[in-house]
Structure 1
Amino acid sequence: MECMLRNFRKTLTTVALCGSALAAGLQAPLPVEAVSTAATQIQLFPGRADALVNGVPATLEEPAVVLQDSLFVPSRWLADQMGLQLSWNEATRKISLVTPKAYLEFDADHQTVSVNGEIIAFDEAASLRNDRLMVKLSWIAPFLNMTYTYDEASRSIAIRYIGQVSTAYKESALTADDAQPNSKPIAKFAFDKPVYRLGEPVHIVDLSYDPDAEGLPGYEWTGKEEAYFKPGTYTVTLKVKDGRGNESEPFSKTIQVTDSSYLTELEYPYYTNSVGSIFSYDAGVVSASVYGSEKKQTVPVLVRQPEDRTLLRGMRTSPVAAPGFLYEDTVSGSARLYTSYVNGMNSSSQLSIVIRNQDQSKPVQVTTTRKSISAPSVYNPVRAYKTLEDYMTAPASDEELTIQPGEAVIYAASPVLSPGQGVQSIYDIQTDGKIDVAYIMTPPGLQAYDLGKYKAIPQAVGDETGTFPVSEVSWEIDARELNNQLSLTIGDDQVEPKLTGTDKRNGQAAQHPGYAGVHYRIELKTKGKLAAALHPKGGFFQGTLRVNGQTLELPEAGLTPKEIVLLGRTENSQDTALVIELMATDRTKLPLELLVLPLADK
């Protein structure tokens, strides 16, 4: 025995150093909160059944014993002292032990031990003595957060067990197929302060975690709001799920909201939402703040509607059922050619733009300065905003085309359209003489000499074609003295004259839905902080928006009258303006409402 203890002592010294380092790491502060642990001190005397537990005498069911220079201790007694779960499974004839670091299974029949599913030889970790399972102390110590040392004077082994943290941690039920027990995740959070004002953003620090480090893909909040707009006490509850579907116990905290105002419901999204975000339009809240008599405010707005770029708009909401000319007119100088048609024939077709030089004595030069054309699609009317977006971001060009006196040429031709497919295009051109422009739908491969075969197509339901003298509109809004909410509308006569045009085919006023094809540039001048938003007051908006050169991503389905998009925000006094660019599709229902809100320092 003396020799065995000397050898055991040498082995113990090395293991104790490793165990101490491990214990030091395990005692590092947890990131969630301070937790309490219970340390257990055990003193064992090899070969004796008596022991001391926290200084109190105790009796072992089987004395600790040194076998092959290693100390073995009775597993049941050790588990009881440390509050661990040791159980016998009659069906599998295995003993399982749940430790802080591993799930262990001892199979004496097959002389194996499983550590989190990994198999090792039984005698590397355990031994049977008098029908009792004995475990090797040096092997099991790392799994138990345990350190131990040998005392020469008392010829005893002192064990220090750090214990398990006192938290809401609970093991899930084990099944026969588990290689390792899966722990319930812990839901936990904290507010950055206990009391908030009305409309003050509530900041929540998420302290939830999964003891098995499997991640937390599922969060279920109850009572959580970004801010509260009525005074009172609110309870917020959180439950989380780990990667295996185990659900935490609910965790709740209360928050107090005083009757002191920080932000109103109207103001809140203007201060806190990200640019380009969509938020709900509460007509009651907005009307009380913006349209109430005590809140009305006007500011200087300079509107320009120059008639220096003619818009030839060729559009039809119903499909084109026969080949022929859809629209034609004469332009000179700058023009915007805007088309949107759907092939309603039973065979493939092609939309072409034909230009004829009116002058019989000299050539005319046509320069394309910007363009965009969509790919054929059955969803073309729905995705028309993409063509506008491409047009707004397209670089300027200078493609030149010379047309001889009296000559007609195919200026542009769409890709081939299958039945039901549509196409949309925008071309900005500059000419040095008068030209006739015609939009024509024909079978694919139209040549100039074929033009005489086709006649004008009669007007049909959904025909939204015409010539408009204005295609560029600019606003300069002087908001430097703005001290209240401001509402301005596009598409009615509140701020600007309505845009009108003529249908060349019959000389009547042309419809102008959505001001499609018109480019708006709105400069909002300020000397302080403000936010601007767009609201489809008339019922619907689809199109493209750019603010200070950045395109905003809008929903494909467009905006409804119950929605607002935050256009932009000036953050400090050095920001002197917001520049908003806008183009709408023909699906847009005017008017559009521009909402501007001055922002206080918060």
Structure 2
Amino acid sequence: MKRRFMLLLLSALMMLTIQLPAHAAEGGQETLILTQDSKEMLHNGNSVLASQPLTAVKGVTYVAAKSFMNEIYGTVVYDSKNKQYTLKSGDNVLRMQAGKSSYSLNGSTKNMTGAPYVLKGSLMIPVRLAAQSFGITMKAQAKGKTVELTWSTAPVAKFTVSDINPYAQQTVVKYTDQAYHPSGLAIVEERWENKYDIFEQPGTYFVSRWVKDANGTWSEPYTVVITVKAPNQPPVASFATDKDTYRMGELITYTDQSTDDEDRIESRVWKNNARGFFEPGQQTVTLTVTDAHGEVSEISKTITITDETLYTQEEFNLLYTDIGEKFEISGPSVLQYPMMNYFINDRAQTLIRANSPETMLEEGIYYEDNVSGNVRFLLHNLNGRSNPVKIYVIVTNSNPEPVTVRMGAKGIGGPNAFVSTVGRAVTGRFLESLLAPKYSYLQVPSGESRLLFPEYSEKAVKPGEVYSMFADVQLSGNLDFKVVVADSNREVMSYLPYAPLLPSNDRHIRGTFENANRIMYVNQTIGDVKSRMVLADNIVDTRLSGIDKTTGIPVLNAGNYGVVYTIQLGKVQPHTAIVVNPRGGHYAGAFTVNGRVVYTTNNSILRNPNEVGMLYKTGDSEEQVTITFTPANGSMLPINLLFMPMPTH
């Protein structure tokens, strides 16, 4: 019984004993001696056989990689797909391919002398490269034809800190252990110097760590320099107004004077900082600032509004609303403004409106026709499928000669889940492109097909997203085209012969329309009184007629989407504001006014008829004003341009 107990105790003690790697040194220093043309390796005096002998080729000495890595307690992994070997020891990672002199060490690409090769199934690597890569000292003995390799097997006391520039008394510093032993021995003890979770005083600290392995060997110190900053001070909120008392409708100027010790104010939030007030009494304005560390400061100031009126609210808004911004108006009152008369002159331009069905539920051909000359494409769709899709315009040349396509002005919006964001972007980008089109050319050989607008087709439209495009092209001859929708993982040219022609099945329009450049002339005086110009209402501003070429059915372009309007205003009085007012609902688009693209609005949309967007203000003399626009995709029509005299006193 006693004997059995002693055997069990001995077995338990053996299980608890720390196992050292074969031939591991106990003094923290390892030696490996290799002999030329021999498989024998002496590791700390113990003989080990390599899979292949130490071999010299063209002045470069090679060692069997796997045998070598075993002795330095490393690993070799082969990736057959990339034909790449990965050698790893400690923190160092060496990657190479047989027959190639380039290699990667810890992510950095370099070139070696010689190149690794395979000898009887064993990867052979330059022994000097291996030694340098893994921090091994190498000494060649020409007389004895030996190579002596020595390296430390002391542990490495590596660690990282969460912040090397903390604030004194404020920042909690966390330390992450990354200590290791090159031979795999356990780390059993550690010692620190200047390790603090919170540093009380600013200054430079050398944080050092030592670790001890199971053999009792201590590491060299591993040190991280931490520069501690003085405690962060909260920001100081401050602002000034140009005075303390204002009349109703008088412009108030606010000057932000807030400061921060690091000049890192991340947020400024104003409350009640109207540029003007229109009721007498006291108004309290508040500014709250927050710095990069979340420290907050707030200040309030009270100003007095007298019962004297300088400007009414409408006059104030006309004077001080910036171009591209908006203000509120009485929507019903707009209908009382007299309508401006204008003359219409439609110019030649073929319009392809592929907008129905607007919600894409099926794969297939959404529109097709044969066209030539000047052509404008309008595409605007919502992905109602459960899969991402791509939209293509494919042209086919059935002529005996090649046809050249000149690609001109183009605007792309989306894909995006918000239709107003897409509509504003695509309209503005198209108008900007019209100002300075960048032309490119595509040749379509006889009997072949080509993809138009590859930059449009390369984007996948996710479910629920809207995608839109305006694009002008000029064709030197007739081309058949198809607008095709396919799941994004489908190869469209292979799918095309099997794609079904889909019907137009909702209230949106598709068709081919002629004379899609509309010029309007207004010759009467503008700005002497409030007035308005009605656009895209389908009554005063008539709709283009066209044909759905897939069915031969006549259609009307409701809203005249895709039509480019040029409005010539010959006599606009001094100090006249030109604003756009949506009459059908929300509107988010863009206008070119005297060569400048103005968005409606810069940072928002016009939500309803009770809002207007500022487009232009004339100066001190009569002006001619030219406005170019196309009804914004995704917005509601009609719209009115309003001409409103501004106060001059």
Are residue 403 (structure 1) and residue 436 (structure 2) matched? Answer: no
Q: Which amino acid aligns with 2:633?
A: D
Match 1:277 to one of 303, 308, 325: 325
CA distance in 2: counterparts of 1:316 and 1:495, whole angstroms: 25
**Map of 1:386 onto structure 2:** 425
Are residue 191 (structure 1) and residue 243 (structure 2) matched? Answer: yes
User: Helix, strand or coil: the match of 2:587?
Assistant: coil
User: Helix, strand or coil: the match of 2:430?
Assistant: helix
User: Helix, strand or coil: the match of 1:332?
Assistant: strand
CA distance in 1: counterparts of 2:503 and 2:373, whole angstroms: 29
CA RMSD of aligned residues (A): 4.2
Q: Which amino acid aligns with 1:340?
A: H
Deviation, 1:355, is: 1.9
User: Helix, strand or coil: the match of 2:428?
Assistant: helix
Aligned pair in 2 of structure 1 residues 349, 210: CA closer, same or farther (>3 Å)? closer
- 2:574–2:623 contact (8 Å) kept in structure 1: yes
Deviation, 1:527, is: 4.6
Aligned pair in 2 of structure 1 residues 531, 494: CA closer, same or farther (>3 Å)? farther
**Map of 1:163 onto structure 2:** none
User: Helix, strand or coil: the match of 1:430?
Assistant: strand
CA distance in 2: counterparts of 1:372 and 1:519, whole angstroms: 13
**Map of 1:585 onto structure 2:** 632
Q: Deviations over 1:291-330 (max 9, x none)?
A: 54xxx54555232222x11111112465433332211122
**Map of 2:583 onto structure 1:** 537
**Map of 1:522 onto structure 2:** 567
Q: Deviations over 1:82-130 (max 9, x none)?
A: xxxxxxxxxxxxxxxxxxxxxxxxxxxxxxxxxxx99xxxxxxxxxxxx
CA distance in 2: counterparts of 1:211 and 1:410, whole angstroms: 56
Are residue 366 (structure 1) and residue 405 (structure 2) matched? Answer: yes
Q: Which amino acid aligns with 1:457?
A: L
Deviation, 1:470, is: 3.5
**Map of 1:441 onto structure 2:** 485
Q: Which amino acid aligns with 1:266?
A: E
Deviation, 1:468, is: 1.9
**Map of 1:569 onto structure 2:** 617
Give identity over the alignment, percent: 19
CA distance in 2: counterparts of 1:315 and 1:182, whole angstroms: 55
Match 1:305 to one of 334, 339, 346: 346
Deviation, 1:188, is: 7.4
User: Helix, strand or coil: the match of 2:360?
Assistant: coil
**Map of 1:257 onto structure 2:** 307
Q: Deviations over 1:357-389 (max 9, x none)?
A: 354x44433222223445655557852432332
**Map of 2:377 onto structure 1:** 337
Aligned pair in 2 of structure 1 residues 206, 453: CA closer, same or farther (>3 Å)? closer
Deviation, 1:532, is: 0.4
Aligned pair in 2 of structure 1 residues 369, 416: CA closer, same or farther (>3 Å)? closer
Aligned pair in 2 of structure 1 residues 219, 589: CA closer, same or farther (>3 Å)? closer
Are residue 484 (structure 1) and residue 507 (structure 2) matched? Answer: no
TM (norm. structure 2) is 0.53
Aligned pair in 2 of structure 1 residues 390, 213: CA closer, same or farther (>3 Å)? closer
**Map of 2:513 onto structure 1:** 468
User: Helix, strand or coil: the match of 2:503?
Assistant: coil
CA distance in 1: counterparts of 2:392 and 2:235, whole angstroms: 68
TM (norm. structure 1) is 0.57
- 2:331–2:611 contact (8 Å) kept in structure 1: no
CA distance in 2: counterparts of 1:455 and 1:180, whole angstroms: 67
- 1:319–1:344 contact (8 Å) kept in structure 2: yes
Deviation, 1:491, is: 1.1
CA distance in 2: counterparts of 1:208 and 1:418, whole angstroms: 46
CA distance in 1: counterparts of 2:432 and 2:533, whole angstroms: 26
Question: Equivalences for 1:487-506 in 2 at 5 Å?
Answer: 487-492=532-537, 495-506=540-551
**Map of 1:560 onto structure 2:** 607
Aligned pair in 2 of structure 1 residues 498, 268: CA closer, same or farther (>3 Å)? farther
**Map of 2:458 onto structure 1:** 415
Q: Which amino acid aligns with 2:438?
A: S
Alignment coverage as a number of residue pairs: 407
Deviation, 1:333, is: 1.5
Deviation, 1:450, is: 5.8
Are residue 266 (structure 1) and residue 306 (structure 2) matched? Answer: no
- 2:427–2:589 contact (8 Å) kept in structure 1: yes
Q: Which amino acid aligns with 1:191?
A: K
Deviation, 1:520, is: 2.2
- 1:527–1:576 contact (8 Å) kept in structure 2: yes
- 2:380–2:469 contact (8 Å) kept in structure 1: yes
CA distance in 2: counterparts of 1:181 and 1:381, whole angstroms: 43
Deviation, 1:567, is: 0.5
Higher strand share: 2
Q: Deviations over 1:226-245 (max 9, x none)?
A: 44556xx4223456678776
**Map of 1:320 onto structure 2:** 360
Deviation, 1:225, is: 5.3
User: Helix, strand or coil: the match of 2:441?
Assistant: strand
CA distance in 2: counterparts of 1:183 and 1:426, whole angstroms: 48
User: Helix, strand or coil: the match of 2:426?
Assistant: helix
CA distance in 2: counterparts of 1:480 and 1:466, whole angstroms: 38
User: Helix, strand or coil: the match of 1:393?
Assistant: helix
Deviation, 1:596, is: 0.6
CA distance in 2: counterparts of 1:335 and 1:510, whole angstroms: 18
Deviation, 1:536, is: 0.7
Deviation, 1:412, is: 4.0
- 2:578–2:616 contact (8 Å) kept in structure 1: yes
CA distance in 2: counterparts of 1:312 and 1:400, whole angstroms: 20
Deviation, 1:206, is: 6.6
- 1:187–1:238 contact (8 Å) kept in structure 2: no
Q: Which amino acid aligns with 1:391?
A: F
Deviation, 1:584, is: 3.0
Q: Deviations over 1:452-473 (max 9, x none)?
A: 3233123333553122224322
Aligned pair in 2 of structure 1 residues 242, 581: CA closer, same or farther (>3 Å)? closer
- 1:325–1:441 contact (8 Å) kept in structure 2: yes
Q: Which amino acid aligns with 1:271?
A: L
Aligned pair in 2 of structure 1 residues 581, 438: CA closer, same or farther (>3 Å)? same
CA distance in 2: counterparts of 1:465 and 1:398, whole angstroms: 27
